[in-house]
């Protein structure tokens, strides 16, 4: 289907292509749709970066150095945040790994059914019910 949106050809590393391929498969979408969504999600940050770069180009040298320092700091924060997210995903993926890894990650959960101790009935025996009087046909 023709589109009025601009197109871009991108050459990917083999491992990146494989990941995009897997995401597309599991989402039932095309690789291009996955890549487009990924780029759309970072577009606001890219827009801010371009604004800073434009301001830096028009600023005196001292201001340019200050902007470089700010950009490097923000870049470091973004890398740290994405690294944390990647580490958490790695932990999630690896949690299905070895039994030792699972035992270290998951403490044994202890359940006791309803929470009533086994000897509770002895302390509070259940009383037998009285038979009900029947109403209806044959009883007048």
List, run by run, the mean pLDDT of 10-residue segments along the chain (140 residues).
84 94 94 91 87 79 79 80 71 63 49 54 61 62
Indicate if 41 and 63 belong to the same structural domain.
Answer: no
Strand runs labelled E in the chain: none
What is the pLDDT, as a whole number, of residue 32?
93
Indicate if 63 and 45 belong to the same structural domain.
Answer: no
What is the pLDDT, as a whole number, of residue 116?
54
Q: Is the pTM of this model over 0.85?
A: no
Indicate if 38 and 67 belong to the same structural domain.
Answer: no
Indicate if 22 and 42 belong to the same structural domain.
Answer: yes
What is the pLDDT, as a whole number, of residue 92?
72
Distance CA 28, CA 20 (A): 12
Query: DSSP for 50-87?
Result: HHHHHHHHHS-HHHHHHHHHHHHHHHHHHHHHHHHHHH
- Residue 79 sits in which domain range? 59-94
What is the pLDDT, as a whole number, of residue 101?
46
What is the pLDDT, as a whole number, of residue 1?
62
What is the pLDDT, as a whole number, of residue 102?
47
Domain count, the chain: 2
Indicate if 39 and 19 belong to the same structural domain.
Answer: yes
Q: Cα-atom radius of gyration of the chain, to the nearest Å?
A: 32
């Amino acid at each position: 289907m023709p589109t009025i949106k601009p197109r871009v050809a991108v050459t990917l590393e083999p491992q990146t292509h494989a990941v995009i391929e897997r995401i597309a498969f599991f989402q039932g979408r095309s690789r291009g749709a996955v890549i487009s969504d990924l780029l759309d999600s970072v577009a606001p940050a890219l827009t801010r970066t371009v604004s800073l770069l434009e301001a830096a180009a028009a600023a005196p040298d001292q201001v340019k150095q200050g902007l470089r320092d700010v950009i490097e700091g923000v870049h470091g924060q973004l890398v740290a945040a994405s690294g944390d997210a990647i580490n958490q995903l790695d932990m999630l993926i690896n949690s299905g790994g070895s039994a030792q890894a699972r035992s270290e990650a998951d403490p044994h959960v202890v359940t006791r059914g309803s929470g009533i101790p086994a000897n509770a009935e002895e302390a509070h025996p259940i009383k037998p019910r009285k038979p009900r009087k029947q109403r209806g046909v044959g009883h007048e």
